[in-house]
A and B are shown apart, each in its own frame.
Chain A
Amino acid sequence: MTTPPKEPDSGGELLELCDRLLDGELSADGRARLETLVLGDPGQRKLYVEYMQLHATLRQQSARLSDVPLEAVLKEFPQSAPVFRRSLPRLWRVAAAFVLGAGISGGMWFAQQQAVVATLVEAHGTRWDSSSQPTEAGSKLRPGRLRLAEGLARIVFRNGVELTLEGPAELDLVNRGLCRLHSGALVAHVPEQARGFTVETASARLIDHGTDFGIRADAAGLASVQVINGEVELRHTLGGEPMRLATRQAAAVDTRQLTRIDGGGEEMGRLRQTSGDSIGREFTHEITTATGAGAAAYVSSPGTKIHFSENLLLVKNAKASVFLRKALLRFDLNPVAGKTIESARLTFNFDPTGFGFASLSVDSTFAVYGVTDETQDSWNPKELKWETMPAFSDDAGQVNTETAVKLGTFQILRGVQKGAYFIEGSGLADYLNRDGNHQATVVVVCESQQPQPNGIVYGFAGNNHPSLPPPTLRLRTTP
């Protein structure tokens, strides 16, 4: 016969303080009291550690809160870790170790608990980006994201809905009656019994009334819909009258409204902004750093003796003093001299540099600054140095804001090294309109400091890249 545990009486106050701590309501006094209790008595100390461990375990292994028999789970655990084969590249295996925690706690058993929504029946020439779903033909698909880089994938829902996804595309399967098309195109066949099947895009919701239809969408909120046979209902997320589309009718969606497209039933159009008062998608001028007196270069912090690139403009910010880099661009604005710029977008084409480790890096925010001191516009890319660059600041993530103004930022997620990124908006257009000498100098820095000196070095195409275009300004001027 053991005596009953004493905790309920002696630990009541401590547990209450812990509960407040865990649910975010602990006051400074409460924190002090908690410390006093824990420091003052070994029993309370033990209780604190046990209770916090309970909380941490629930959090880390929340996926196990389902009904799976625990014996099975525990047996699977230790063996499930080193599944990496010898043939895998070494860095890959190490990188896997860092995400393993997330993999284990992030839904291993929850996934088993969730119902199968659809089956991936066919895959034509498909290449998948990292996806929360299996991507082999015949795989059962559960709620989650599909990222198709290229090719065609045919998905059959359990209620008979058939989707063909066209890469590149991102699609969330939510349940058998709903999916979210973040970007890309799909063609759907919805049988009678599955009426009401819904596809959501960033700015609209398509509700099916028994049809074949096609839809294309992008993350910026544009979409176009075409009914091949039957009828669908289209609703804008901003509200307003729903639109009904019948066989061979089509509509365009932008961030503001739905627009019927006459004659659009024959061929699916490109995505475009149809309401005039928003950011223009059709640009009338294109200026690159290779145009006219344009220039593109990067600078490295003093002491950097190796790791240079001919084709890429390098950018890096890390907890270090060497190997820091910033990029510098000059645009020749003569082609738009005397015109008012209504809207502008500046695009960068990133490509892997081969320097640093992505696995030792964090999500990175890049800031783009426009140099306002025009006396600094005449820099020579061959002679440019860290300390002599325009709007110099010794901080790799900063510029001198007395001589430069921030035009915008964009983010690149950890592990991504490739792709086109851009800034746009009135900040950029205003800056270009204020220009007085037909030259604009722009600085690109990485605001996020990598915690490791060996963090990733980012690079985007400069003027000498063999295949990618240089940094490009796309402008629309008033006619």
Chain B
Amino acid sequence: MNTPEPSPEEFVFLLARHERLLGAYVMTMVPNPADADDILQEAKVVMWRNFAQFQAGTNFGAWSRKIAFHQVLAFRKRKHRDRLDFSDEFLNSVAEELESSSAHLEKRERALHDCVAKLPKDQRDILFMRYHEALSLEEMESRLKRTTAALYRLLSRVRHVLHGCVTQTLQSSDYDYSA
């Protein structure tokens, strides 16, 4: 065999750079977090097994998303169909959208951190409980002594604010994209 051995270092490096957007990519198609995690994990295994076929210097992000897309399809085939599953048409359309706006999304991701930092502490705490501690609204209800309906509204509002903040940040000309 003359083909060079794929280098684990290179794989780890590329994966680390691209896997966040890859995670978002899978979630737009499979919103259930546990399922999305499984798919992402399987996709990483497939990527490593096929890493020898990846052409160095080409777009690793696009290559990895193609593999993830196939894993999403494979997952859907294997799993019991659910009334909340999106249609194939929807999947294709969303995947295409994400592919064509991947550079834009990377910028949004960077801007998001600044926007989170601007939130008042209590709103950051809500995000922290929901996302880092992965508490359900019911669990947060007993901890915060607020109704799930109120927490639901608050969480939605915080996400809306963040989305608006990111959009605005990218529109203002002095934002440094390279940060």
A residues with CB within 8 A of B: 2, 5, 7-8, 15-16, 19, 21-23, 25-26, 28, 31, 35, 38-39, 42, 45-46, 48-67, 70-71, 73-74, 77-78, 80-82, 84, 90, 93-94, 96-98, 100-101, 104, 107, 110, 360, 451-452
Contact = CB atoms under 8 A, between A and B. Distances in A.
B73 interface: no
B108 A50 contact: yes
A165 to B, nearest CB: 27
22 contacts: A19-B155, A38-B94, A39-B93, A45-B97, A51-B159, A52-B24, A53-B98, A54-B112, A55-B27, A56-B24, A56-B27, A56-B36, A58-B112, A58-B131, A64-B116, A70-B179, A82-B13, A84-B9, A93-B12, A94-B11, A97-B12, A101-B40
Q: Interface SS of chain B: helix, strand, loop or mixed?
A: helix
A73 B24 contact: no
Given A23-B155, A35-B90, A5 B168 contact: yes
Contact of A21 (B16, B31, B167): B31
Interface in B101-145: 101, 105, 108-110, 112-114, 116-117, 124, 127-128, 131-132, 137
Q: Lowest 8 CB-CB distances: which A-B pairs, in order?
A: A81-B16, A62-B132, A56-B24, A62-B131, A93-B8, A53-B24, A56-B27, A70-B113
Nearest to A35: B90
A23 B153 CA distance: 11
Nearest to B109: A57
Given A56-B27, A58-B127, A73 B45 contact: no
Contacts of A50: 105, 108, 163, 166-167
B21 to A, nearest CB: 8
A77 B106 CA distance: 14
B56 interface: no
B81 interface: no
Interface string B28-43: 1001010010001110
Interface string B72-97: 00000000000110110110011001
B65 interface: no
A96 B155 CA distance: 34
A438 B48 CA distance: 52
Interface string B147-167: 000001001100110111011
Contacts of A22: 31
Given A7-B163, A65-B132, A104 B152 contact: no
B16 A100 contact: yes
Contact of A64 (B44, B113, B156): B113
Contacts of A55: 27, 159
B8 A94 contact: yes
Contacts of A360: 45
A50 B11 CA distance: 27
B32 to A, nearest CB: 9
A54 B159 CA distance: 8
B44 A51 contact: no
Contacts of B33: 59
Contacts of B19: 100-101
Contacts of A42: 97
B101 A60 contact: no
A84 B159 contact: no
Given A52-B31, A97-B44, A57 B24 contact: yes
Contacts of A84: 8-9, 12
A62 B13 contact: no
B127 A65 contact: yes
A143 to B, nearest CB: 13
B98 A49 contact: yes
B28 A53 contact: yes
B98 A70 contact: no
Contacts of B15: 81, 97, 100
B171 interface: yes
